[in-house]
Amino acid sequence: MIRSAEEFIALRYSDDLDEQRRAGLESASLEVWTEIVERYPDARFWVAHNKTVPLEILRALASDPDFAVRSMVAMKRKLTPDILEGMAADSHEPVRLQVARHRRTPRSVLERLLADDWSEVRKLARDRIENDDRSASPG
């Protein structure tokens, strides 16, 4: 378990690949994650990358000023439909593409993405809806 913000930073920016892996796999308390996000803005991407980061932190990072952080958040399996719904209106196209790709994105959000500015997002949303329709129909 990662016990402090300083430990996370030391692990993540270490030259040792095993230590970098620990930063991506080990858990920390909500207080430690919050401290990292507040004190080390450049490490937010790596916080979002961690496999155990709590949903409360992902919810906050979903509106981070850095699109790379938001893109990483949009790839997280544990996202809830409400977070995905908010991210579907992101200003950055690759974030919206990740939302269209996400298995937990509600159909209503996919339908909204059918009107997206970027054709790749529209196509993926359409494909997801059509595949869901095919798998739901008897036969």
Q: What is the per-residue pLDDT across 54-109, written as a single tens digit (0 to 9) for each?
A: 999 999 999 999 999 999 999 999 999 999 999 999 999 999 999 999 999 999 99
User: Whole domain around residue 129: which residue ranges?
Assistant: 67-139
For residue 28, give the 3-state DSSP assignment: strand
Number of domains in the chain: 2
For 19-32, what is the mean pLDDT? 98
Q: Which pTM does this prediction carry?
A: 0.92
73 and 127 together in one domain: yes
- Amino acid (1-letter code) at residue 79: L
Tell me the one-letter amino acid at 106: P
What's the longest Cα–Cα distance across the chain? 56
Question: Do 71 and 136 fall into the same domain?
Answer: yes
How far CA 5 is from CA of 36, 43, 82, in Å, comes to: 5, 10, 28
Q: Is the pLDDT of residue 138 over 70?
A: no
Quick one: 137 and 72 in the same domain? Answer: yes
Instruction: Name the burial class of residue 137, with classes exposed (0-12), middle (13-18) and buried (19+) by CB atoms within 10 angstroms of its CB.
Output: exposed
Do 71 and 137 fall within a single domain?
yes
Residue 139 pLDDT > 70, yes or no?
Answer: no
Is residue 106 helix, strand or coil? coil
Residues 52 and 95 in one domain: no
pLDDT for res 57: 98
* In the block, residue with structure tokens 């991407």: 45
